[in-house]
Structure 1
């Protein structure tokens, strides 16, 4: 559920607090061009490298975090809430480094290392850290392989949402751990295991294979297959599985095509919200299905849909020329090929970034900090009631709810337009290469200084 803090009038800008360094002082809004960035949870555009290359920006970095920290999801044992960015600490004061991708759930976090290992920290009541203990951890711990005898290895992509964690392995199989009340671990059973388990095939005989990208929802999982087909499993509330029905499924099954015809194909990227799903096609169109009570399907109707249907554009036609999508709790973002961002759905906390708190059942443009439209965006993240954009130059902006410090703005004041992040204790942040927006905490992957 979104934090229902409703911002008042936009406050007069004030200088950053003492002891806090501004991360982005000005927005470079003149950068445009075709973008083909992808998120660690979703997939690759048509013709792009494999998910492994997708998640790995080329230079391993270190992880910084901000927001809610009640279960240690920020990776440092101090405040319950941090309003400014600080480093994840791997032990003995060392920063967590050699990381190529990050993922964030409700109260836990994941990091993929350049060696193909997965580290996890935060809440662990449902086994979402994958280390077999059930105990929370403020410091990163290694995720174990199925059976627990060794560490999980050969991972190329990770995803997390709610209490669920997922990993894609180099051989095209998928491993899951954490919550399983709706069969979201894809094992064919709702029984819990303290160690990771394999997602099985549709028949339950053998592992699901041929997977090129993964996406996690709070209660379901999706996988993008070679050729652009999508399979889904877990909760089918509000039609999340896209199969035209409403029954939960413990094993992967195909998502139907647009309007329920045939099977969905030609998909380049998938992203899952609270109770809805986005699929970006290789031709730049966007399909959605699931709940629509806040306009999150972007078709202007407010009616739920159990099979995929098209998102409208601001003029009422079909949205196209999209290079990247991100689904939040009940809102979404789409990066256009010109580097602008469109948003739709719930806006109670200003998460659409257009300077208002009015919901939008059709896409609207995200505003710039001081301009009509945000530009130069390479990738997006969407949490519960907030958004984050990484710009082509490697800086970042956030907007929406800030009650748990998730905007990293140095305060807990919501904002309805993009604004800068700050780093604690005068720290200086270099190029941001990737991100993960959890429910109420944010992770950023930062390139080490001296490697730009």
Structure 2
């Protein structure tokens, strides 16, 4: 996802006791003998209107090739998907996958790593005429095939897709029988890492044999996690920040291109940020691991550039909150509880965590100049209605209330917050209110590096009026 050059240097650290979960040391056979604790979910079937907004200079918005679609400052209905009946989607760093009710998969965005699973190299692309004085068309039109949703080919037609997943450079789908197909590649600090040990870039969907009986996928920047029916977590991709839950030796780096378990079991749910990961166990404990220099793992010890939580470690302040889902970006995290509360932690300087300056907790970590740098302890967001779903981009956040209203906050220069032309960072959760979505019940949101996407069902006039009346009463 988009990396932003706003860094701080820490000169102090705080400590907090944490409980570490040791590697089980189980053999493959002992993992096979574990009891089944998870079920493969059913395919989604509610047809959604799809709205997109943000910066689409890499074709992320899927609004076609015209240069004027490169910046969309408020949610806009995607006309190419209007009659397709989209039921699910996933936003990667610079591309999106969308599943329709006919079990067809659509893709759009940057195709440098063949994440779209279709050839876009010969598509029409119009560059700007040097004599053209139109200041709004600085770079000319976009690649027509990448900027327009197109169908992915090569997937099994007799099995329903129950989840789609996207990293920065890879796409994947989970099927109803627990199989996983993927395509694209993984990158690392040195460049392209590869797809498998004998494949640099996979251009078409390929079955991943190591993923069997999978119930959920969770994608990071350049890694992916899989959870199976027995509660075993598997990791695949780049592990240079310990996001694979184990130490990766340089001489064995290519071994990470084969998904494998790393000793984490009894898990009911997984999630991932760009370089850090989460798991919720069957008894409700929240575990985290990976990059933690801003406390984005929810663990407040050793907050310095490059700090790592090397093994899955209990986030004790969340384990009694009945957390049901987690969304994370590059340096921040949101955790959603069963009662609809959001707990936020991580980087502060672009307002990613949505906490007002006056409400920052005592645990706030400050830089050498006394400016707030991060909040490493999960902190409840105030002045929000009951929330039913969350999503996080690289440096911005989204939440949807039980009434189907979307809120956003965080980095604003790319317009991914969807709040209009100001382009300013948004400190606290703010309602996304515009003509395109005001009469919709938003059911699903997603966020990439510099763009956002939502899906909703249109309400009747009576339902819209009733919802607005309820909001006015709550504000009074």
In structure 1, C-alpha distance between the alignment counterparts of 2:264 and 2:332, rounded to whole Å: 23
Which residue number corresponds to residue 399 of structure 2? 389
Matches within 5 A, 1:334-353: 334-353=335-354
Task: Determine helix, strand or coil for the equivalent of 2:241.
Answer: helix
2:382 aligned with 1:363: no
Which residue number corresponds to residue 408 of structure 2? 398
RMSD: 2.6
Q: 2:433 aligns with which of 393, 418, 422?
A: 422
Shift of 1:112: 1.0
Matches within 5 A, 1:31-430: 50-53=40-43, 56=44, 58-77=45-64, 78-90=68-80, 95=82, 97-134=84-121, 136-145=145-154, 154-181=160-187, 187-201=196-210, 208-246=211-249, 247-248=252-253, 249-255=256-262, 263-301=263-301, 302=303, 303-313=307-317, 318=319, 320-356=321-357, 358-368=373-383, 374-411=384-421, 412-423=423-434, 428-430=438-440
Shift of 1:178: 2.0
Check 1:235–1:311 CA distance in 2 against 1; reply closer, same or farther (3 A cut). Answer: same
Is the deviation greater in 359-368 or in 152-161?
A: 152-161
In structure 1, C-alpha distance between the alignment counterparts of 2:175 and 2:385, rounded to whole Å: 34
Please tell me whether the aligned partners of residues 271 and 278 of structure 1 are also in contact (alpha carbons under 8 angstroms). yes
Please tell me whether the aligned partners of residues 116 and 156 of structure 1 are also in contact (alpha carbons under 8 angstroms). no
| Larger RCO of the pair (alpha carbons < 8 Å, separation 6+) | 1
In structure 2, C-alpha distance between the alignment counterparts of 1:422 and 1:404, rounded to whole Å: 18
Shift of 1:140: 0.9
Which residue number corresponds to residue 466 of structure 2? none
Please tell me whether the aligned partners of residues 225 and 234 of structure 2 are also in contact (alpha carbons under 8 angstroms). yes
- Structure showing the higher helix proportion among its residues: 2
Shift of 1:5: 7.0
Check 1:5–1:445 CA distance in 2 against 1; reply closer, same or farther (3 A cut). Answer: farther
Shift of 1:414: 1.1
In structure 2, C-alpha distance between the alignment counterparts of 1:331 and 1:427, rounded to whole Å: 27
Which sections of structure 2, spanning at least 5 residues, go unmatched? 8-35, 124-144, 358-371, 464-476
**Greater Cα radius of gyration, structure 1 or 2:** 2
Check 1:364–1:179 CA distance in 2 against 1; reply closer, same or farther (3 A cut). Answer: same
Task: Determine helix, strand or coil for the equivalent of 1:195.
Answer: strand
TM-score (norm 2): 0.74
In structure 1, C-alpha distance between the alignment counterparts of 2:51 and 2:37, rounded to whole Å: 31
In structure 1, C-alpha distance between the alignment counterparts of 2:446 and 2:38, rounded to whole Å: 21
Task: Determine helix, strand or coil for the equivalent of 1:329.
Answer: coil
In structure 1, C-alpha distance between the alignment counterparts of 2:149 and 2:271, rounded to whole Å: 26
TM-score (norm 1): 0.78
In structure 1, C-alpha distance between the alignment counterparts of 2:443 and 2:381, rounded to whole Å: 21
